[in-house]
Structures are given as C-alpha cells and as structure tokens.
Amino acid sequence: MAILNIPAAPVVEGTTHLHSGKVRDLYRIDEGEHAGKLLMVASDRISSFDHVLSSTIPDKGEILTRMSLWWFDQLTDIVPNHVISADVPASVTGRAVIVESLDMYPVECVARGYLTGSGLIDYNETGEVCGIALPAGLVESSRLETPIFTPAAKAAVGDHDENVSYDAVVNVVGAERAAELRELTLAVYGRAESIARERGIILADTKFEFGARADGTTVLGDEVLTPDSSRFWPAEGYAAGKVQPSYDKQNVRNWLLSADAAWDKKSDTPPPALPNEVIELTRAKYVEAFERLTGTQF
C-alpha cells in the first residue's frame, strides 16, 4: 500500500471519529436528536498518485458538499439518498452532512459515456471494458453509443480500485441486487449527463456508492457527481482523439509530473508542496464546475 499521509482528523464535539479517507472524515454522533447517525465531513485535502498532499485547496470541502447536496436534490425521484440534515456542528458548518448508517455494497458503481482513463486502457488491450465488447476504432474521448456500467471492486485506502466484470458483481451481491445497481447507476448517469450538457459540460464518467437500509432499500450514499468522483469536460471545444481539459485536479497531477516538482511518483517520498498558482488554479476549476452546474455563485 502506498504511503498516504492522511492527517489526524479534527475533534468534533459530541462525536466519535470512526474513519478517515483521502478527503473525508467520518464520525458517529454520540448525543442529541441524531445520536447513532453519522457525520460525514469533507476536508480541503487533495490527493494524487496515492498520496495526500501537504497542500490543501481552500473551500474544496464546502464545494464538494454543496455540489453533492444539489445533485441529491436532482435525483430524488430516481433513488433515495443517505442525507438526513445539513444542520451540523459549527466547527464543520458548510462542509459536512448528517447521514444514515447504511450497509454499503462493496462495489464502485461506475457509468461511462465516453472512453478514457482505465476504460481506454482496457479497450486498447482487449477491445472490451469490464467484459463489455465495444466497436473497433474508438479513440481517446470517443463518445459511446450507449453508456455502459463498468463496476470496480473497492480497494483499501491507498490502493487502486480494480475494474471487474458484471458477473463479478453478481457473485458478490447476487443477481437481483446487481441488476438493481446497474439500472440505478445508468439511470442516475443519464439524468446527470443531460443536466450537465444543458449547462455546457460533458459528464464523461462518474462513480457512485450505494448501500442498503435495514429494510433492504437501496440508497445512494457518499458524495455524488463532484469533480472528485466524476470527469467533467467543457462541451465547447470537445473533439474525440485527444485528452480533454477537465474540471478536476488534473493541474495538480500535471505539476507533480513536471520538472519543477522534481518528484518521483514511484517513490515513497511524499510529494512536494504545491505552488500557490497551482492551488489557485485548482480551486478556480472546482468553483467553475460548481457554478456552471448549479447556476449559483459560490
């Protein structure tokens, strides 16, 4: 497992810290009307190449939280979500939500409408993505005739999720649940892709996490349709056959790979701190995505 350098989670009064990921900290609420529920806090941390950087992106946690809340509202007629309340302790106001405790399915539910990233790598090697045969002649950023469900097995923090076949999902959660997850994933992607396109943004692919309530109801959890979990491209200037500019942390990756960073991503040495101009540009991309999609000013 790669060294992640996840900092200690801040203390939130009235809660017990349960887990920290690359970006989010999870707490159990110990007192009050929501005792026993979970508090999910989005930090300003940013990760790249399996390291959490020492630099943070100002307002990132709030942007991710507000964007997820906006998207959940757009999707309530398709699938219920885990959000209970955004009325959270003052120390995490704006970047946290109170959520249900779900039995999460051990599957990353990925929808792809365009061919890029690990999907393109698999296609170039086999002509398939997650066992789905695709037409010959596709290139970087090709739009797929029909969006596809390309699940991944959840990895431990610091490791890479591994693309798997639909049959592998059936083996883990059963045929009925696998079919439901595929249907919900593609339905949510279809709704979100249409909304984004109306706002001049291409939703190339995205990943969702679902869990089950005690009564078996499937619920959409975690974050949803943010630049951390999705590839958003500007529709203007899109053309297949090239890497598209994106509303995410690509500027961070580019700088870390540059000679200026003087860092070997294959080493266990932590990445260097980001220069101010990269931090500011990355923040600006997150803000632009939020404002264009939601139609509100950050």
pLDDT at 160 (0 to 100) = 58
| Cβ atoms of residues 219 and 210 within 8 Å | yes
pLDDT at 182 (0 to 100) = 98
pLDDT tens across the length of the chain (298 residues): 455 788 999 999 999 999 999 999 999 999 999 999 999 999 999 998 888 999 999 999 999 999 999 999 999 999 999 999 999 999 999 999 999 999 999 999 999 999 999 999 999 999 999 999 999 999 999 999 999 999 998 765 545 568 899 999 999 999 999 999 999 999 999 999 999 999 999 999 999 999 999 999 999 999 999 999 999 999 999 999 999 999 988 889 899 999 888 998 888 888 999 999 999 999 999 999 999 999 999 9
pLDDT at 3 (0 to 100) = 54
Closest among 195, 218, 231, 24 to 118, alpha carbons compared: 231
pLDDT at 5 (0 to 100) = 80
Please tell me the distance from the alpha carbon of residue 94 to that of residue 39, in angstroms, as a whole number.
Answer: 12
| Cβ atoms of residues 132 and 145 within 8 Å | no
Structure token pair of residue 204: 């190339």
Please tell me the distance from the alpha carbon of residue 114 to that of residue 240, in angstroms, as a whole number.
Answer: 9
How high is the mean pLDDT of the chain? 94
pLDDT at 49 (0 to 100) = 84
Domains recognised in the chain with CATH numbers: 15-99 (3.30.200.20), 103-264 (3.30.470.20)
pLDDT digit string (tens) for 118-145?
Answer: 999 999 999 999 999 999 999 999 999 9
pLDDT at 2 (0 to 100) = 52
pLDDT at 1 (0 to 100) = 45
- For the entire predicted model, the pTM comes to 0.93
Closest among 63, 35, 70, 81 to 199, alpha carbons compared: 70
pLDDT at 122 (0 to 100) = 94
